[in-house]
Amino acid sequence: MPVHVGIIMDGNGRWARSRRLKRIEGHKAAETSIRETVRYCGEAGIGYLTLYAFSTENWKRPKSEVAFIMALLKRFIRRNIDELDGNGVRLRAIGRLHDLPKGPLEVLRGAMERTVSNDGLNLILALSYGGRAELVDAARKIAGKAARGEILPEDIDESTISGHLYLPDVPDPDMIIRTSGERRLSNFLLWQSAYSELYFTEVLWPDFRKEHLHRAIEDYGRRKRRFGGIG
Ligand code: FPP
């Protein structure tokens, strides 16, 4: 059983287009997939679920689509927070959160504070997130410490980098799932994915259901993880 699962929720736009709907309808339909995935992970005892909801590059999309996704984020949290909290889910986030509009950011912060002492599933939303941006932000924090004489350059090691990422207490993802047939990481958890098992499925995110997640987790169970050793 994986401890940490990351998901690149891709294919909302194509799902909508294939139904002759507007792209935003695909984002709307994503909510059911998110709810099923969260419920499955909670019931299966998975510790951490990170969902790639909005990348540092997604700001390049048409203004109207960005605004829609941000409004959806706020609505999603408002509509689901009671159930999440009731099920012991702790809501967290990674990314350049200060880039988010005020309304969604306030709702997000409120939900994170409300669930901070929950000890069930950690649901981590990657928002205005980029793996490179995360490493840049970590480098800035470490360089600041070095400039103040709090750390020596020769003492910087891998654990220093890991310790300055957005959520240093979260273990690396055991498995990363990407929907919709694309086979790339697209700047998701670059440092943390060094030894992650990658799982790709043709299923578009709005069609993703618990049986698809179950299949992915079964596949993970058959993988031999060697972490560079000989097993
Ligand atoms: C990928 O599909 C999806 C996104 C970039 C946005 C995902 C956002 C949500 C599911 C809603 C907001 C988040 C939460 C947590 C409620 P795509 O648009 O790239 O699809 P395409 O590749 O088919 O165009």
DSSP reduced 3-state for 95: coil
Average pLDDT over the chain reads 98
Q: Is 14 in the pocket of ligand 1 (CB under 6 A)?
A: yes
In a domain, 168, yes or no: no
Work out which ligand 1 atom sits closest to the CA atom of 51.
15
- What distance in Å separates the CA atoms of residue 120 and residue 49, rounded to the nearest whole number? 11
- What would the pLDDT profile of 40-51 be if each residue is shown by its tens digit? 999 999 999 999
The three-class DSSP label of residue 76 is helix
pLDDT at 78 (0 to 100): 98
Q: How far, in Å, from the CA of 156 to the mean position of ligand 1?
A: 36
Place of tokens 């401890």: 3
Query: Is 230 part of any domain?
Result: no
Structural domain contains residue 140 = no
- The count of domains in the chain is 1
Q: pLDDT category, 101, cuts 50, 70, 90? A: very high
How much distance in Å is there from the Cα of 36 to the middle of ligand 1? Answer: 16
CA of 70 to the centre of ligand 1 (A): 11
Single out the residue of 23, 40, 227, 32 nearest to residue 120, CA to CA: 40
Decide: 89 and 118 in contact? Cβ < 8 Å.
yes
d(CA 57, CA 61): 8
- Could you list the residue range(s) of the whole structural domain that residue 78 is in? 4-130+173-221
Q: Radius of gyration over alpha carbons of the chain, in Å?
A: 18
Please work out whether the CB of residue 192 comes within 6 Å of at least one atom of ligand 1.
no
Other beta carbons within 10 Å of 46: 23
- Residues 201, 214: Cα–Cα separation, whole Å: 12
pLDDT band at 231 (very low <50, low <70, confident <90, very high): confident
Q: What is the CATH number of the domain that holds 11?
A: 3.40.1180.10
Query: Is 159 among the domain residues?
Result: no
Q: Does 131 contact ligand 1 (Cβ within 6 A)? A: no
Please report which helix (H) or strand (E) contains residue 92, including its range: strand 90-94
Active site residues: 10, 58
Query: Is 38 a domain residue?
Result: yes
